[in-house]
Amino acid sequence: MDRINRFFNDKNEVSKDAGIDYSQAGDYLEAVKALSRTTYQSLYVINYQTKGFEYVSDNPLFLCGKTSKEVKKLGYAFYFQNVKAEDVEMLIKINEAGFKFYDTIPVHERKLYSISYDFYLINSRKNLILVNHKLTPMFLTEQGQVWKALCVVSLSSNNSSGNVVLSKDGSDEIWKYDLAADAWERSEKIKLSSREYEILSLHASGRTINEIAEKLFITADTVKFHRKKLFEKIGVGNIAEALAYAKTNKLL
């Protein structure tokens, strides 16, 4: 339990007597379960009052050979068993920095924010898998603390752990966390040109370069030119990585 408490502090620990409007939750888990049936991503829900997981989907990506019930029972202990040791320390640091930042946000805007970062899971075969982890608040206490949060886990399009980004729904402004400097830096979301968006969308629907060229009334070489510019813009090497990046960063 002492190790688990390293993930909690005065910014994110919800006391048992905290003011909470319990009616806001309703039967929300049915909606989360329905969502989990429609996505390849893994979903789980954190309850900051119980310091545990309230729901874990059956998607095996996040389970590391365990059942969803086993991961739910483990809660934060799962990280100490199945995350690369140095990345556990990184997650604790990100957790602290993220909630400090969150504490500066006006209460009425807090549900609009989400945080994204990458870390290595150790699967049942002892192989390292780099995953992307997104967390967004679902329900708040009356004081504005996060009571419950939805977490989404997918394969990362990056090549290393870290890559911490805070974003606000409906805003082009993002904040990137510099782990070494322990500081947040303001930036802007990457914007695709209309042609880049068209080509990426058509690739996402399964079309080939020649089919995209025919659809857009341009040459295959023009499609390749725009793809190359897109890859350079978002820092990927191929269309599979570009599509993964687009899904992770809501470009499509």
Is residue 1 pLDDT above 80, yes or no? no
136 alpha carbon, distance to own chain's centre: 8
Please indicate, yes or no, whether residues 46 and 156 belong to a single structural domain of this protein.
Answer: yes
Residue 166 near residue 153, CB atoms below 8 Å: no
Is residue 7 pLDDT above 80, yes or no? yes
pLDDT at residue 210, as a whole number? 95
As a whole number of angstroms, the distance between CA 72 and CA 53 comes to 5
As a whole number of angstroms, the distance between CA 187 and CA 13 comes to 29
Q: What's the whole-model pTM score?
A: 0.85
Please indicate, yes or no, whether residues 207 and 135 belong to a single structural domain of this protein.
Answer: no
Please indicate, yes or no, whether residues 107 and 228 belong to a single structural domain of this protein.
Answer: no
As a whole number of angstroms, the distance between CA 74 and CA 63 comes to 11
Please indicate, yes or no, whether residues 155 and 42 belong to a single structural domain of this protein.
Answer: yes
Q: Which domain holds residue 44?
A: 4-188
Eight-state DSSP code of residue 83: B
pLDDT at residue 182, as a whole number? 95
The H or E element that residue 211 is part of is: helix 209-216
Q: In the listed set 166, 188, 210, which residue is the last one of a domain according to the structure? A: 188
Which two structure tokens, joined as six digits, stand for 188? 């802007």
pLDDT digits (tens, 9 = 90+) for 57-86: 998 888 999 999 999 999 999 999 999 999
| Beta bridge partner(s), residue 150 | 45, 136
pLDDT digits (tens, 9 = 90+) for 109-155: 999 999 999 999 998 889 999 999 999 999 999 999 999 999 999 98
